[in-house]
Homo-oligomer: A and B are copies of this chain.
């Protein structure tokens, strides 16, 4: 766990591509291409030179020289309050296909797994653990269904329940929410927004945010999309719900899901009446050959950072998946935490490679805060009208004021600076957790620590649900890996670190270690 150069999110620049003596020209040409192919439109802001040279691990002169050449070409202009911006780019246009997206391959529902809801859900008895945890045991809590994966209501209730040390995965450092910047932006929005913006609006969302999101995904995820083709949603969970409403109309009722994979997203799919069929994940990510063999028409996956194992889909698997998509498969790409990475280069979204076969969903839940309930969904042209109609039906579109505030934060560079700042903090907390695991749980294997807001430890031979239950009795909340599995597999614990301080992490892992030892002994 070190401070190695991690590459740039901006355009996914990789210094290894650059000839040693020609880095400035290489950088200029990469940015020039992005301007000419529309990824950076007129008005797009380039990173500050200091930030970009830190990301790339080059001297400041390299970036300055590249920017100077682009300015000489009349492509960018520097200085002023907005920094360096593109001045002669093209308007962003889409190149997505307009055909239907119906089922390409017959569905053989081998191993279909439906309805986690309704499973027997039992309360585990107390497991004997030492009584010196940071929180005292509280016996007046409602029954907790650790042991089997909880039903959707219970899973959600557990997710939001209080704990002394909450290591639930998927929550960023909420103490660092940029409150002052949010208020400043809100002041501007309330001063400038025309009254008409306060009426019934476009169900796709407010145009300023759709524009900011189109620029954001172009810069950071390589996706080219017109603002008119972005749908603002209330987070990735809603995006999946909209797709689950729309896809059956297009002949898709059965979706492959990663195993292990997020219990929450699997439940969303199933509650909307679709079937979720598990496909195994290994060290290279989802096993595409099994997906192909299943004949399933669609896959819900997290290619950039697999949940919960943290695998990045390998190059050969990406290639296989690309072929499957071009053959008519459909990917639901849950890009849930692509913004958070520490020791590895960024991975472009699959939606940037085969856009006409990918439904791409992202949100600010893990960049800013889940309580904002703002995300985005970008889908192939063939189902776009249906997705927009579904969004209109569920809520007539997101609330407008937070959309305009967020657009302002994205457009002004505040969000990018915030992301850089929280990434440093998250990395330190990640390091604290890796250290604590190494000291307290030396036998556990750590997975997926190079990115994200959580890591997973596998603990062979231990009943992970019993450990999680015992830990909760001592005030420490974690999710057992078994909850996220369909087929049986190695037990473990999914540990969020981003929202907790180093000392909370230390204390929490110490409690977990005692619970693991007690479970082994029991």
Q: Which residues on A are within 8 Å of B, measured CB to CB?
A: 152-153, 156, 159-160, 171, 174-175, 177, 179-180, 182-183, 186-187, 190-191, 195-203, 234-235, 237-238, 241, 268, 271-272, 369-374, 385, 389, 392-402, 499
A-B contact list, 18 entries, CB within 8 Å? A153-B389, A156-B392, A174-B196, A177-B198, A179-B190, A182-B190, A183-B186, A183-B190, A198-B371, A199-B499, A200-B370, A235-B396, A238-B394, A241-B393, A241-B394, A372-B399, A395-B395, A399-B399
Q: Is the CB of B203 within 8 A of A156?
A: yes
Q: Is the CB of B392 within 8 A of A395?
A: no
Q: How far is the CA of A180 from the CA of B385 in the complex (A)?
A: 37
Q: Which residues of B contact A370 (CB under 8 A)?
A: 198-201, 396
Q: Which residues of B contact A199 (CB under 8 A)?
A: 160, 171, 174, 369-371, 499
A sample of 5 more A-B contacts (CB under 8 A), given A174-B195, A201-B370, A373-B396, is A159-B200, A201-B371, A234-B394, A234-B396, A395-B395
Counting chain B CB atoms within 10 Å of each CB, which of A160, A401, A402 scores highest? Answer: A401
Q: How far is the CA of A249 from the CA of B136 in the complex (A)?
A: 41
Q: Is the CB of B395 within 8 A of A234?
A: yes
Q: Which residues of B contact A398 (CB under 8 A)?
A: 373, 399
Q: A371-B400, A389-B152, A389-B153 are in contact. Are A237 and B395 (CB under 8 A)?
A: yes
Q: How far is the CA of A371 from the CA of B193 in the complex (A)?
A: 12
Q: Is the CB of B389 within 8 A of A401?
A: no
Q: How far is the CA of A195 from the CA of B272 in the complex (A)?
A: 32
Q: Is the interface of A mostly helix, strand, loop or mixed?
A: helix
Q: Which residues of B contact A371 (CB under 8 A)?
A: 197-201, 399-401
Nearest-CB distance from A330 to chain B (Å)?
Answer: 22
Q: A182-B190, A238-B394, A371-B197 are in contact. Are A160 and B399 (CB under 8 A)?
A: no
Q: Which residues of B contact A271 (CB under 8 A)?
A: 393
Q: Determine which of B160, B177, B179, B395 lies in contact with A201 in the assembled complex, contact meaning CB atoms within 8 Å.
A: B160
Q: Which residues of B contact A394 (CB under 8 A)?
A: 234, 238, 241, 394-395
In the complex, the chain B residue whose C-beta lies closest to that of A175 is B195
In the complex, the chain B residue whose C-beta lies closest to that of A267 is B393
Q: How far is the CA of A508 from the CA of B278 in the complex (A)?
A: 60
Q: Which residues of B contact A399 (CB under 8 A)?
A: 234, 371-374, 398-399, 402
Q: Which residues of B contact A177 (CB under 8 A)?
A: 195, 198
Q: Is the CB of A373 within 8 A of B389?
A: no
Q: Which residues of B contact A191 (CB under 8 A)?
A: 179
Counting chain B CB atoms within 10 Å of each CB, which of A171, A202, A373 scores highest? Answer: A373
Q: Which residues of B contact A372 (CB under 8 A)?
A: 198, 399-401
Q: A201-B371, A394-B395, A399-B373 are in contact. Are A183 and B175 (CB under 8 A)?
A: no
Q: Is the CB of B182 within 8 A of A369?
A: no
Q: Which residues of B contact A153 (CB under 8 A)?
A: 385, 389, 392
Q: How far is the CA of A396 from the CA of B182 in the complex (A)?
A: 22
Q: How far is the CA of A156 from the CA of B200 in the complex (A)?
A: 9
Q: How far is the CA of A199 from the CA of B174 in the complex (A)?
A: 7
Nearest-CB distance from A399 to chain B (Å)?
Answer: 4
In the complex, the chain B residue whose C-beta lies closest to that of A368 is B198
In the complex, the chain B residue whose C-beta lies closest to that of A403 is B371
Nearest-CB distance from A312 to chain B (Å)?
Answer: 26
Nearest-CB distance from A490 to chain B (Å)?
Answer: 27
Q: How far is the CA of A186 from the CA of B159 in the complex (A)?
A: 27
Q: Is the CB of A174 within 8 A of B198?
A: yes
Nearest-CB distance from A204 to chain B (Å)?
Answer: 11
Q: How far is the CA of A385 from the CA of B156 in the complex (A)?
A: 13
Q: Which residues of B contact A268 (CB under 8 A)?
A: 393
Q: Is the CB of B200 within 8 A of A171?
A: yes
Nearest-CB distance from A497 to chain B (Å)?
Answer: 15
Q: Which residues of B contact A235 (CB under 8 A)?
A: 395-396
Nearest-CB distance from A119 to chain B (Å)?
Answer: 16
Q: How far is the CA of A190 from the CA of B371 in the complex (A)?
A: 13
Q: How far is the CA of A388 from the CA of B238 in the complex (A)?
A: 15
5 A-B pairs with least C-beta separation = A371-B400, A198-B369, A234-B395, A174-B195, A373-B399
